[in-house]
Amino acid sequence: PERVFSGIQPTGNLHLGNYLGALKKFVALQEAGRECLFCVVNLHAMTMPVAPADLLDQTRQIAAAFLACGIDPKKSAVFAQSSVSAHAELAWIFNCVARMGWVERMTQFKDKAGKDAERASVGLFTYPILMAADILAYKATHVPVGDDQKQHLELTRDIAERFNRDYDAPGFFPLPEPLIQGPGARIMSLKDGTKKMSKSDPSELSRINLVDTSEEIAKKIKKAKTDLLGDMPSDVDGLKGRPEVENLVGIYSAVTGESVEAVLRQFGGQGFGAFKPALADATVAHLAPITQRYRDILADPAEIDRTLAAGAERAEAIAAPILSDIRRTVGIWQA
Ligand code: ATP
Ligand code: MG
C-alpha cells in the first residue's frame, strides 16, 4: 500500500522555501486522499546546538504551521518524532546497515559542518540515517521533500535495499520514491542565488518567513539581490546565468500559479522597480491567510499538544508491528 511520510525540523521560523517545497505539497497529497504522516522531527533538530526551551517552543510552532497550511489532523497523522521511539531504535539498526563511505558522501553534512567538521556533532553526520529510519519505520513509499533532500532519499533507498539483501528479506522495505517536482522545489536565498533559502541561515534578509508582516516581506524583496544586467528578460533563455532573477521569477510563478514563461512575457523588458513590488504583493496575498491561521493556532498551545498526542498514537500504531518485524528479522530479542 502507498503511504506518504515527510518531516520538518523545528530549527526556527519556517520560510517560503519550506512552504513551497514541502508544506504546500503535503496538503495536495492529503487532499488527493493519500495516507499521510507528517512529523516534526525534533530529534533531527538536536544535531545543531539548540536551547531546550527553544526546541520545545519550535516543536509546537512547526506543528502549528502544519495545521495553518492546511494539514488536517483528522486526515493525516501530525506528530513529533520523539513520541514514537521506533525512529531512534531503527536509526541505530540502520547505523549498522549503512556504510561509512555512503554517509561521507552526503553534501548536507559538509554544508552544515562548514570548515570545522571535527567539531560537528556525530548526530549531524548520521542525520541521514535517522531520516531513513523516519521514513522506513512506516514503510513509507512516497516522500515529498525539497530538492535539497534528494541525496538523502537516495541513501534511504540504498539502506532499504541493503537491509533487504543482507537479511535475506526481499521486499521487506519498499524503496521510497522522492516527490520533488514542480515549482518551489528549490527556492534560493534572497541574498545569494546559489544558496538555498534556509531556516538556519544567519541572515534574516535571506529568507521570507511565514510569520513575516507584509511590510517585512516587501522590504526583504526590495533588498533582494538582483544583478547588474538591468531589466527583466522576456524568455526562459534570458534567465541563464542570472540565478537571483531566476529565483524571484520562480517565486512569482509559484505563488501565483502562472507559468514562468507567462511571468516573463508580462514583465520582460521592465526594471526590477516594477517587478519587485508586484512580487511582494503576490507573496503577501498568498501567505497572509496562512500567517493569520498560524497566529490563531499558536495562541492555544494546549490544543497543539492534544493534536500531537493524538497523532503520536496513530503513528505508533503503524510503526509498532513494523518494528517488531524488524527486530525479529535482525535477531534482536524481544518479549
Ligand atoms: P535547516 O536550515 O535547519 O536545515 P531548512 O530550511 O532546510 O532548515 P528543513 O526542516 O531541513 O528546513 O526541511 C524541511 C523541508 O523543507 C524539506 O522537505 C526540505 O527539502 C524543504 N526545503 C528546505 N529548504 C527549501 C528550499 N529552499 N526550497 C524548497 N524546499 C526547501
Ligand atoms: Mg534542511
In a domain, residue 190? The reply is no
Residues 284, 166 within the same domain: no
- Can you tell me the distance from the alpha carbon of 331 to that of 255, in angstroms, rounded to the nearest whole number? 50
In a domain, residue 80? The reply is yes
Indicate the length of the chain as a whole number: 335
Tens of pLDDT along the chain (335 residues) come to 899 999 999 998 899 999 999 999 999 999 999 999 999 999 999 999 999 999 999 999 999 999 999 999 999 999 999 999 999 999 999 999 999 999 999 999 999 999 999 999 999 999 999 999 999 999 999 999 999 999 999 999 999 999 999 999 999 999 999 999 888 899 999 999 999 999 989 999 999 999 999 999 999 999 999 999 889 999 999 999 999 999 999 999 999 999 999 999 999 999 999 999 999 999 999 999 999 999 999 999 999 999 999 999 999 999 999 999 999 999 999 99
Catalytic residue among 24, 25, 191, 196: 196
Q: Which residues line ligand 1 (CB under 6 A)?
A: 8-9, 11, 17-18, 21-22, 145-146, 148-149, 185-187, 196-200
CATH for 234: 1.10.240.10
- Can you tell me the distance from the alpha carbon of 223 to that of 169, in angstroms, rounded to the nearest whole number? 55
Residues 314, 265 within the same domain: no
pTM: 0.96
Q: Say how many Å lie between the CA of residue 306 and the centre of ligand 2.
A: 27
Q: According to the annotation, is 48 in a ligand binding site?
A: no
- In this structure, which ligand is nearest to the CA of 12? 1
Residues 310, 290 within the same domain: no
| Nearest-10 crossing angle of helices 272-298, 214-223 | 140
Please, is 171 exposed, middle or buried when counting C-beta atoms within 10 Å of its C-beta (0-12, 13-18, 19+)? Answer: exposed
Q: According to the annotation, is 240 in a ligand binding site?
A: no
Q: Is 24 known to be catalytic?
A: no
Q: Is 240 known to be catalytic?
A: no
- What was the ipTM of the complex prediction? 0.98
Give the H or E element holding residue 142.
strand 142-144
Containing structural domain, residue 246: 204-295
Q: How far is CA 182 from CA 21, 22, 81, 250, in A?
A: 9, 11, 27, 10
- Can you tell me the distance from the alpha carbon of 244 to that of 226, in angstroms, rounded to the nearest whole number? 5
Q: According to the annotation, is 72 in a ligand binding site?
A: no
Atom of ligand 1 nearest to the CA of 184: 29
Angle made by CA atoms 180, 182, 187, in degrees to the nearest 5: 80
Residues 153, 217 within the same domain: no
Residues 273, 323 within the same domain: no
Q: According to the annotation, is 21 in a ligand binding site?
A: no
Closest Cα to atom 14 of ligand 1: 8
Q: Say how many Å lie between the CA of residue 16 and the centre of ligand 1.
A: 10
Residues 250, 322 within the same domain: no
In a domain, residue 185? The reply is no
Q: Which of 14, 148, 248, 253 to mutate to test the pocket of ligand 1 (most atoms within 8 A of CB)?
A: 148
Residues 255, 108 within the same domain: no
Residues 38, 98 within the same domain: yes
In a domain, residue 197? The reply is no
Residues 242, 284 within the same domain: yes
Residues 77, 154 within the same domain: yes
Closest Cα to atom 18 of ligand 1: 145
What total of structural domains would you count in the chain? 2
Catalytic residue among 112, 195, 219, 225: 112
Quick one: cell of 185? 522545489
Q: Say how many Å lie between the CA of residue 94 and the centre of ligand 2.
A: 21
